[in-house]
Amino acid sequence: MHVPPIHSLTQTDWQLAELIQREAQRQHDKLRMIPSENYVSTAVLEATGSVLTNKYSEGYAGRRYYEGQQLVDPIELLAIERAKALFGVEHANVQPYSGSPANLAVYLAFAQPGDPVMGMSLPMGGHLTHGWSVSVTGKWFRPVRYDVRRETGRVDLDQVRDLARRERPKVIFCGGTAIPRTIDFPAFAEIAREVNAILVADIAHIAGLIAGGAHPSPVGHADVISTTTHKTLRGPRGAMLMSTAEHAAAIDKAVFPGLQGGPHNHTTAGIAVALHEAGTDSFRAYAHQVVANAKALAAALIERGFDLVSGGTDNHLILIDLTSKGIGGKPAAKALDRAGIETNYNTVPYDTRKPFDPSGIRLGTPALTTRGLTEAQMPQIAAWIDEVVSAAVKEDEAVLDRVAGEVRELLSGYPMPGWAPQP
């Protein structure tokens, strides 16, 4: 049964209940390797599905626009204190609805429409909200974009410095969505300081690794830290902005009333639970295991002739350039999905193909590490990926179904938090 059970939903809305049950089974049976996804704990599920969803709380603790905040205030303060303690920051705002609104609040706090803002180009591994042209951040501000070096796949800090000196951005984002290497926060901070820009570390992908000590922290380097809470941090879908005390008021004012209305209190509670869990020794071990698994998988993929952007990984994420395998990222990701291995197709730096049909796939180890897989299983996973990609090239569908069965069989020995198949 689902934990917590969904008896009432089954009685009142069987159609939806059945879809949820099937989604749970799907998550149970597949190797979920989209690097921005995870499995939350039963405790996070419980907090997120609680009566806190019933309450409006516009404002901040002690300064709300609605009555009845006797318990919401301490819940939000608990989440804030836990964020401050876990990451060692002076200020935390736990109200942003998700990563994109969190980043938009940063622009509102520190830039005016038309100002130059700087971030990593989306096809190089950045995020839409770091000034990409189709995003409001690229339309209402003047984006300045940096790349990775063609030869190394790593951020070109010389280019970042040159662009920053020339364009004088108000805000510089470091971090992104497809960066397999350690982010050099001190180097970005030096550049931002030189041009008097606000440095924002978008740690959405690596927040859990930082909390667990498996990636260096931006604290002491970045003025503002933006993160979602549902990736490696293993919380509910939400976000946080953290900063030095100096920027606290600007951040808070930008989130509310600048951008959002009432915070999602059930999410705040789920974030508080996740932050509590992330402070434990077992989470520390988890964060290190995520990286160990990714490194083992990268080594096994390289052994099988796969080209990895930047030649490997330092974190939870691997970006495979499939050009040499004679297949695009999209058909490969679709074949892998059918074979029970969930990834996403992704551009690779300097991609010659279109974003909707790019050359790469992006995969990672946060979710499968939560299931309990270790380095021991990574060669098998690389072998399946290799077999499926070759089968996709030859359009041999029987292989995909066989691998899906083998994946299911492996995962049946690794429980999924929050749900178990019915006996």
Residue closer to ligand DSN (CB basis): 125 or 340: 125
Please give the structure tokens belonging to residue 30: 């597949």
Q: Which amino acid is at 189?
A: A
Burial class (CB in 10 A: 0-12, 13-18, 19+), 368: buried
Distances (CA, A) of 151 to 52, 159, 249: 51, 14, 42
Min CB(387)–ligand DSN separation in Å: 26
State yes or no: is 237 an active-site residue.
yes
State yes or no: is 150 an active-site residue.
no
Min CB(127)–ligand DSN separation in Å: 6
Residues that bind ligand DSN (CB under 6 A): 36, 99, 127, 177
Q: How far apart are CA 240 and CA 92, in angstroms?
A: 7
Catalytic, out of 37, 58, 115, 406: 58
3-state secondary structure (DSSP) of residue 31: strand
Min CB(53)–ligand DSN separation in Å: 23
Min CB(329)–ligand DSN separation in Å: 14
- Of 79, 82, 13, nearest to 52 by C-alpha is 79
Query: Which residue has the closest beta carbon to ligand DSN?
Result: 36
For residue 4, whether the previous peptide bond is cis, meaning omega lies within 30 degrees of 0, is: yes
Residue closer to ligand DSN (CB basis): 343 or 369: 343
Catalytic, out of 202, 223, 307, 314: 202
Residue closer to ligand DSN (CB basis): 95 or 100: 100
State yes or no: is 202 an active-site residue.
yes
3-state secondary structure (DSSP) of residue 403: helix
Catalytic, out of 64, 168, 237, 304: 237
Task: Provide the 10 A C-beta neighbour count for residue 401.
Answer: 11
Catalytic, out of 228, 267, 313, 347: 228
Min CB(203)–ligand DSN separation in Å: 12
Q: Which amino acid is at 88?
A: G
DSSP 141: S
Catalytic, out of 231, 234, 325, 330: 231
Question: For 323, what's the count of Cα atoms within 13 Å in the CB-facing half-sphere?
Answer: 13
Residue closer to ligand DSN (CB basis): 36 or 260: 36
State yes or no: is 56 an active-site residue.
yes
Residue closer to ligand DSN (CB basis): 38 or 177: 177
State yes or no: is 146 an active-site residue.
no
Q: How far apart are CA 179 and CA 163, in angstroms?
A: 20
Q: How far apart are CA 333 and CA 273, in angstroms?
A: 33
State yes or no: is 58 an active-site residue.
yes
Structure-token match 């979710």, residue found: 367
Chain centroid to CA 377: how far?
23
Q: Which amino acid is at 245?
A: A
Residue closer to ligand DSN (CB basis): 226 or 265: 226
Min CB(362)–ligand DSN separation in Å: 8
Task: State the catalytic residues.
Answer: 56, 58, 202, 228, 231, 237
